[in-house]
Amino acid sequence: MSDIPFSNQITEQNIAFTLEINYMPYAMSVIISRAIPEMDGLKPAHRKLLYTMYKMGLLNGNRIKSADVVGQTMRLNPHGDQAIYETLVRLTRGNDALLHPFIDSKGNFGKVYSRDMAYAASRYTEVKLTAICSELFKDIDKNTVDMIDNYNNSMKEPLLFPTTFPNLLVTPNQGIAVGMASTACSFNLKEVCEATIAYIKEKNCDFLTYLKAPDFSTGGQLLYNADELKTIYATGRGSFKVRAKYLYDSKQNCIEITEIPYTTTIETIIDKIIMLIKSGKLRDINDVRDETDLNGLRVTLDLKRGANPDLLMYKLYEMTPLCDSFNCNFNFLVAGRPHTMGIAKILTEWIAFRSECIKRQVAFDVQKKNAQAHLLDGLAIILLDIDKAIAIIRATEQDSQVIPNLMTGFEIDKIQAEFIAEIKLRNLNKEHILSRIKEIENLKKEIAELNNLLSSEKKIEGLIVKQLKEIAKKYGKPRRTEIVYEEEKPEYDELIEDYGIKLFLTQHNYFKKITLASLRSASEQYLKDGDEIAQELETTNKSDILFFSNNQNVYKVKAHELSECKASGMGEFLTNTLGLQDGEKIVFIAATTDYDGDIIFAFVNGKIAKISMDLYSTKANRKKLVNAYSDKSKLVYASHIRVNTDFIAIRDKDKALLFNTDLLPLSSSKNATGTQVMTLRKNSKLTALIQADKYVSDNAEYYRTEKLPTGGHFISEIERIKNGLKDINRIQNSHIRPFD
Of 442 and 729, the one with more pLDDT: 442
Condensed to tens digits (0 to 9), the pLDDT of residues 227-271 reads 999 999 999 999 999 999 999 999 999 999 999 999 999 999 999
Q: Average pLDDT of 421-427?
A: 79
Tell me if 189 sits within 8 A of 211, measured CB to CB.
Answer: no
Q: Average pLDDT of 600-607?
A: 94
The CATH superfamily of 42-161 is Topoisomerase II, domain 5 (3.90.199.10)
Q: Where in the chain is the domain with CATH 1.10.268.10?
A: 347-475
Closest CA to 282 of 250, 246, 307: 307
Tell me if 144 sits within 8 A of 353, measured CB to CB.
Answer: no
pLDDT at 436 over 90: no
199 CB-near residues (< 8 Å, 6+ apart): 205, 207, 344, 347, 351
pLDDT of residue 149: 93
Condensed to tens digits (0 to 9), the pLDDT of residues 527-565 reads 888 889 999 999 998 899 999 999 999 999 988 888 888
Q: Which residues of 85-110 are buried (b: 16+ CB within 10 A; e: fewer)?
A: bebbbbbbbbbbbbbbbbbbbebbbb
- Compute and round to an integer the Cα radius of gyration of the chain: 42
CATH code for the part of the protein at 347-475: 1.10.268.10
- The domain 493-735 having CATH identifier 3.20.190.10: the answer here is no
pLDDT of residue 487: 62
Query: Strand pairing of 323-329 and 331-334?
Result: unpaired
Query: In 10 A of CB 41, how many CB atoms?
Result: 26
Q: Where in the chain is the domain with CATH 2.120.10.90?
A: 493-735
- 530 vs 227, 507, 533, CA distance in Å? 61, 9, 10
pLDDT-derived band of residue 732, with 50, 70 and 90 as boundaries? Answer: very low
pLDDT at 513 over 70: yes
Distance CA 335, CA 437 (A): 45
510 CB-near residues (< 8 Å, 6+ apart): 527, 528, 531, 570, 571, 572, 573, 574
Q: Where in the chain is the domain with CATH 3.90.199.10?
A: 42-161
Closest CA to 425 of 470, 377, 393, 385: 393
pLDDT of residue 48: 95
Torsion sign across C-alpha atoms 602, 605, 610, 613: negative
Beta strand spans in 671-723 (E): 675-676, 686-691, 713-714
Residue 183 β-bridge partners: 174, 329
pLDDT of residue 27: 80
* Strand ordering across the sheet containing 533-540: 533-540, 500-506, 510-515, 572-573
Q: Is 23 a catalytic residue?
A: no
Condensed to tens digits (0 to 9), the pLDDT of residues 628-659 reads 999 999 999 999 999 999 999 999 878 899 99
Condensed to tens digits (0 to 9), the pLDDT of residues 40-51 reads 999 999 999 999
pLDDT of residue 54: 96
Condensed to tens digits (0 to 9), the pLDDT of residues 331-358 reads 999 988 999 999 999 999 999 999 999 9
Distance CA 410, CA 379 (A): 10
The most confident of 219-228, 403-412, 566-575, by mean pLDDT:
219-228
SS (H, E, C) 251-300: CCCEEEEEECCCCCCHHHHHHHHHHHHHCCCCCCEEEEEECCECCECCEE
The residue annotated as part of the active site, out of 124, 151, 492, 702, is 124
Q: Where in the chain is the domain with CATH 3.30.1360.40?
A: 245-321
Under CATH, which architecture does the 245-321 domain have?
2-Layer Sandwich (3.30)
Q: Average pLDDT of 618-622?
A: 74
> pTM, whole model, 2 decimals?
0.78
Condensed to tens digits (0 to 9), the pLDDT of residues 699-714 reads 889 999 999 999 889 9
pLDDT at 161 over 70: yes
Q: What are phi and psi of 504, to 5 degrees?
A: -130, 130
Distance CA 233, CA 345 (A): 10
pLDDT of residue 490: 65
pLDDT at 67 over 50: yes
338 cis-preceded (ω within 30 degrees of 0): no
Tell me if 690 sits within 8 A of 723, measured CB to CB.
Answer: yes
CA 200 and chain centroid, separation: 31
Q: Is 321 exposed, middle or buried (0-12, 13-18, 19+ CB in 10 A)?
A: buried
